[in-house]
Every structure is written in structure tokens, then in C-alpha cells.
């Protein structure tokens, strides 16, 4: 046999082996996916079936610190009854046997879970929080409650920073809680050096990572500096970590635990996970139609605040600094000074932000009109315009989801809300939060709506006319805005197309005059949401046109 023939045989055998390896790699990939799915299922079951039984029953009040917890809760926070899950979380925090991952809805009392134990600890608790405004507000509240707390932000003076650094190395307990942003941990070598000295001296009693979902790129509010918090476990391995968030998919929780170097729940001495139901019975879900004009919108908001929340605190969110300033002044004018408003946005310097906070704390301002997060505990929260997170050119899918939610006049709002959050768009996994998507809330606008008040109408003929008109526009390569399309459907502004439309028996223009411009826009939105029409963008130096 020639060398060439032998070479061909060997090459054939190599190709055969490569094919077999490729098939085995495919089989291996499938098995790995199945294994990961089983591990995830085991982890979820482990958490849901009661992971604390192997240690203590943290729901009890027979611990050495139990009476002190009650006394401090009453004397500092005026709390006599703990909310759902607060007691076991507080006990687990005091026990310091494991890291904690706490998933509680906004307003369910997450902050107390670390603020109260901090009062009983010998050292201080480090709290990493993403927003300076929220840090300052929490510290103001703690001072009013007699809790020694401090913060270090970009606006903190050198003298104040020096005082905090001295307190970090003192056994006199000059403060119990130290708040910083993740940027301080990731970028300040001096701060980390002082923190290391505190740890060595035994003064760093606990590390709290608030809004922990910001660690994960899968989370909605990812902050790059949060990823640098992994150094906290490396540098301070014996200090327990408590991670807190309001809503969290399983995939994000696992990612956060990986970043913070927290043990997986199912392993020996793994992280304890506490999760409350997503739904809060005290919330009332209601969709209110916004008036067409800006003046009517301001009048509606002003009357609504005066009728439902007179003299109570609230936030109104706007998209831009200009919008915030206009809305604030308009509400003051419309209410004749009864609703005092202030603005809060990223372009303000620290002194002006501080002044707004002081007026807010003294009840000199009732409503803050903001473009950025300001205050967690308020009576009302209004979005005059969509935030940048929901802006058309950022995430059209989310805009469509909002339209679907608002346009549903039959399904319980709570069920719509839970169904949306039940699936993680990245990993197709549910939330850590417990949900009950089959149970109605009984107090939203749809639950209280009389079924006969909802009018159902077959608009197939109108929809067909809309689609055929759009096909004609595409054929002649004419792009139109939604406003222009509405006008065309009302037989206005057709121009050269008028004669073509009149000869087409399948395009019934004008459509029935009983349909207002608003209702025509609703039809167009539904056709876009359902995929029959597509929005395209035309970007100019000044705006984005759809």
C-alpha cells in the first residue's frame, strides 16, 4: 500500500474520531444542562421547604438577645409588632452563623433587618447603598430616632471624614451604622485601609449590601462598582454579609451570591434566603387616563393630590430637568400654594440637594418633582412621563408591556403585575419572591369595575383598513408618524394618495367617525403590540421620531 493510501486511511479515521468527539460533546452539553436544572430545582426546594430547621427556629424569641431586640425596637423605632419575616431575619442576623439574602418588597421593612441588630452589636455595621439621596435620608431618619449613624459621600467635608475614620477605630461606639456608596469601596484606598484596620480590631460587625441586584448585569439597575464589592469577602472573610433587594429572579440571586462570594444556600453553612410574597395587600393598583393637554394634566394631578393626600409627602417623576421645573411651578400655581413643590435632579449641586432635603424633612415641601430617585417612604408616587428606563429608544418592549397593562380593563391588576414579574426575561426563570398568580386582589380598578361598563367591539374591518393603508404607504415608500396616520384614517392629509385610496374598495376611509383620535391611537398601539405593524425610528440632531 502506498504512502498516499495510508495517509488517506489515517485522515478518514481522524475525521471519524472528530465526528464521534463532536457527538459526545453535544451529549455532554445536554447532560450538563440537565444537571444544572436539577441543581437549581434542588436549591429552590431547599429554600422553600425551610432551610433553617437544621440550625435554630429563628421564629422564636428565646434567644439571649430577644428582650434587647424588643426594647430597642420600641424605644428607637416605636415598633411593638414585627412585620412578616422580620423576626427570623433579625434573629439570624444576631446569630451571625451565616450570610443572609433578604428579598422583601418595597415598604416591607428591609432596613430594620440590619438597623436594629446594629444597635446591639459591639462594633459598627457597614451599609453599601447606591443612591446618595437615600443614604442621607436614612441617616436623617436614624438621627431622629436616636440611632447614631454617619455617611461618607463626595459632599462629606474633610473634617467629617476624619471624624468618621477616627470612629471606625474606636471602641467608644460613636456610631453604629456607616453608609457609603459602592464607589467608595471600589475607588478609595484610604477608606479600605481604615476598614481593614477596623476589621483587625474587631469593630466591623456586619456588612450590608442594599439593592443587591445592582451587582448583577442581569439586574435592571446594574452598577459596575457593585461588582467590586467581591473584595469585601476577600478582605473580611469572618464578617457576615447581608444582601437585600425588593424583587429578584433566581438567576440574579445566584449571580449576586457569586459576585459577593456568598455560599450557595444548599451547601453546609450556606446562605440563608428569606423571601416575602411579591404582592402587598395594602397596595391599590389603578390606571388613570392622562388628559390630552399639559394644562389639564397638571389640573388633574393637583386635584387628585388635594383630594386624596393633602399635606402628605409624595414624588412626581419627570423625564427631564426642564419638565421637572415646569411641573413643580405649575402645581404650586394651580394649587395656589397649597402644595409646595421642590425639584431634584442630577444637575443640582450638593448644596442645593442638601437644602431640598432639609426643607423636605421640615415639611416645608410636600412634593418633590424629580428626575432621579429621591425618597423611599412616601404616600404617593406619580410618573408624569416615562422615565429614561422606559423611553422608546431605550426599550420599546417595556413600553409595549406598559400599554398592554394599561389597556387591559378586565384582568386583575395584581395578576397582570405578578405574571409580568414571574418570568425572568434573561433566564426564563421565576422570581425568588412567592407569587399567587391565580388569586385576585379584590381592590384594584379592574376587580371593582362593573363588567357591563367594559364595552367589547369587533374592529376587524377597521384593523384591515389600517393595515391595507400601511401596505400602500410602504409600496410608495412614504413614512408617516402615528399622528399623520391618524389624520389619514380620518381622510385628512392624504395628498396624492387620496385618488388611489378612493379607487381601492378595500380601504374604507374615512373610518367610522365615532372613533376619536384617542381610540384610533389605541387601535394602532394594539396592532403594533400584536406584531401587525412595526415602529421604525428616524433620528435627527434634535429628536427621535417614530
Cell of 483: 399622528
Contact present, 444 and 427 (Cβ < 8 Å):
no
What kind and span of H or E run contains 103? strand 100-103
Residue with cell 434566603: 273
- How far is it, in rounded angstroms, from Cα 442 to Cα 435? 16
480-528 pLDDT, tens per residue? 888 888 898 888 888 888 888 888 888 888 888 888 888 899 899 889 8
CA angle 31, 36, 40 (to 5 degrees): 150
Model pLDDT, residue 16: 85
For 291, the grid coordinates are 388628559
Give the C-alpha separation, 398 to 528, whole Å.
13
- What Rg value do the Cα atoms of the chain yield, rounded? 29
Gap between the Cα atoms of 401 and 395, Å rounded: 10
Q: Determine the distance from the C-alpha atom of residue 382 to the mean position of all C-alpha atoms in its chain, rounded to a whole number.
A: 16
Specify the long-range contacts of residues 468-471, CB closer than 8 Å, at least 24 apart: 468/504, 468/506, 468/507, 469/501, 469/507, 469/509, 470/533
Query: What pLDDT score was predicted for residue 427?
Result: 40
Greatest Cα pair distance in the chain: 104
- Which residues, given as ranges, of the chain have pLDDT below 70? 36-56, 217-222, 373-378, 386-396, 421-435, 437, 537-546
Tell me how far apart the alpha carbons of residues 110 and 207 are, in angstroms, rounded to a whole number: 14
Taking the C-alpha atoms of residue 325 and residue 238, their distance in angstroms, rounded to an integer, is: 49
Q: Is 472 exposed, middle or buried (0-12, 13-18, 19+ CB in 10 A)?
A: middle
What is the spatial distance between Cα 92 and Cα 96, in angstroms, rounded to a whole number?
6
Look up cell 378595500; give the residue: 506
pTM of the model: 0.69
Cell output for 103:
428579598
Instruction: State residue 270 phi and psi, 5-degree precision.
Output: -70, 175
Q: Could you tell me how far CA 92 lies from the centroid of its own chain?
A: 26
φ and ψ at residue 437, rounded to 5 degrees: -70, -10
Burial of 37 (0-12, 13-18, 19+ CB in 10 A): exposed
CA distances to 49, 225, 260 from 208, rounded to whole Å, are: 26, 15, 11
Give dist(CA 254, CA 240) in Å, integer. 17
- What are the backbone dihedrals phi and psi of residue 545, each rounded to the nearest 5 degrees, phi first? -105, 135
Cβ within 8 Å of residue 462, ≥6 positions away: 508, 511, 512, 515, 523
Q: Which residue matches cell numbers 389640573?
A: 299
DSSP 8-state assignment for residue 176:
S
Q: List Cβ neighbours of 457 (8 Å cut-off, separation of 6 or more).
A: none
First-to-last alpha carbon distance for the chain, in angstroms, is 72
Residues in the chain: 546
Q: Which residues pair with 207 in a beta bridge?
A: 126, 241
What phi and psi values does residue 113 have, to the nearest 5 degrees? -65, -25
Alpha helices (H) in 423-480, listed in sequence order: 460-475
Cα 358 from chain centroid (whole Å): 27
Strand 149-152 relative to strand 177-180, pairing: parallel
| Three-state helix/strand/coil letters over 114-173 | HHHHHHHCCCEEEEECCCHHHHHHHHHHHHHCCCCEEEECCCCCHHHHHHHHHHHCCCCC
Amino acid at each position: 500500500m502506498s504512502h498516499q493510501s495510508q495517509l488517506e486511511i489515517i485522515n478518514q479515521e481522524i475525521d471519524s474520531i472528530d465526528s464521534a468527539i463532536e457527538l459526545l460533546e453535544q451529549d455532554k452539553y445536554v447532560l450538563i444542562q440537565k444537571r444544572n436544572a436539577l441543581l437549581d430545582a434542588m436549591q429552590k426546594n431547599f429554600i422553600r421547604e425551610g432551610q433553617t430547621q437544621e440550625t435554630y427556629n429563628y421564629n422564636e424569641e428565646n434567644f439571649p438577645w430577644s428582650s434587647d431586640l424588643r426594647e430597642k425596637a420600641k424605644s428607637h423605632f416605636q415598633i411593638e409588632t414585627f412585620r412578616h419575616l422580620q423576626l427570623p431575619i433579625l434573629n439570624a442576623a444576631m446569630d451571625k452563623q451565616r450570610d443572609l439574602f433578604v428579598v422583601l418588597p418595597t415598604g416591607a421593612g428591609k432596613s430594620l433587618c440590619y438597623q436594629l441588630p446594629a444597635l446591639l452589636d459591639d462594633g459598627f455595621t457597614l451599609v453599601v447603598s447606591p443612591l446618595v439621596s437615600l443614604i442621607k435620608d436614612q441617616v436623617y431618619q436614624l438621627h431622629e430616632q436616636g440611632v447614631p449613624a454617619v455617611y461618607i459621600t463626595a459632599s462629606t467635608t474633610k473634617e467629617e471624614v476624619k471624624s468618621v475614620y477616627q470612629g471606625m477605630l474606636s471602641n467608644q461606639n460613636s456610631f453604629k451604622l456607616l453608609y457609603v456608596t459602592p464607589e467608595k469601596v471600589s475607588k478609595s484606598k484610604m477608606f479600605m485601609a481604615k476598614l481593614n484596620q477596623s476589621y483587625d480590631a474587631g469593630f466591623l460587625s456586619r456588612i450590608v449590601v442594599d439593592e443587591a441586584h445592582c451587582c448583577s448585569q442581569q439586574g435592571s439597575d446594574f452598577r459596575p462598582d457593585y461588582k467590586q464589592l467581591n473584595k469585601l469577602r476577600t478582605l473580611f472573610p469572618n464578617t457576615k454579609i447581608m444582601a437585600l433587594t425588593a424583587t429578584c429572579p433566581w438567576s440574579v440571586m445566584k449571580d449576586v451570591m457569586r459576585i459577593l462570594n456568598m455560599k450557595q444556600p444548599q451547601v453546609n453553612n450556606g446562605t440563608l434566603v428569606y423571601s416575602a410574597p411579591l404582592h402587598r395587600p395594602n397596595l391599590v393598583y389603578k390606571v388613570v387616563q392622562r388628559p390630552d393637554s399639559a394644562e389639564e394634566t397638571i389640573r388633574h394631578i393637583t386635584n387628585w393630590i388635594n383630594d386624596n393626600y393633602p399635606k402628605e409627602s409624595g414624588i412626581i417623576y419627570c423625564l427631564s430637568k426642564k419638565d421637572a421645573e415646569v411641573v413643580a411651578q405649575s402645581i404650586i400655581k394651580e394649587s395656589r400654594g397649597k402644595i409646595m413643590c421642590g425639584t431634584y435632579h442630577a444637575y443640582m449641586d450638593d448644596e442645593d440637594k442638601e437644602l431640598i432635603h432639609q426643607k423636605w424633612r421640615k415639611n416645608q415641601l410636600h412634593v418633590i418633582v424629580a428626575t432621579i430617585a429621591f425618597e423611599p417612604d412616601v404616600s404617593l408616587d406619580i410618573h408624569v412621563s416615562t422615565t429614561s428606563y422606559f423611553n422608546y429608544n431605550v426599550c420599546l418592549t417595556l413600553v409595549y408591556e406598559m400599554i398592554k397593562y394599561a389597556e387591559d380593563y378586565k384582568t386583575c391588576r395584581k395578576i397582570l403585575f405578578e405574571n409580568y414579574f414571574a418570568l425572568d426575561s434573561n433566564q426564563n426563570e421565576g422570581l425568588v419572591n412567592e407569587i399567587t398568580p391565580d388569586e385576585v386582589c379584590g381592590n384594584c380598578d379592574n376587580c371593582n369595575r362593573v363588567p357591563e361598563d367594559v364595552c367589547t367591539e369587533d374592529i376587524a374591518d377597521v384593523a384591515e383598513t389600517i393595515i391595507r393603508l400601511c401596505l400602500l404607504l410602504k409600496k410608495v415608500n412614504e413614512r408617516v408618524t402615528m399622528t399623520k396616520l391618524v389624520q389619514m384614517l380620518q381622510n385628512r392629509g392624504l395628498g396624492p394618495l387620496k385618488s388611489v385610496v378612493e379607487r381601492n374598495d378595500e380601504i374604507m376611509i374615512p373610518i367610522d367617525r365615532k372613533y376619536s383620535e384617542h381610540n384610533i391611537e389605541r387601535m394602532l398601539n394594539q396592532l403594533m403590540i400584536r406584531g401587525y405593524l412595526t415602529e421604525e425610528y428616524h433620528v435627527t440632531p434634535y429628536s427621535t421620531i417614530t
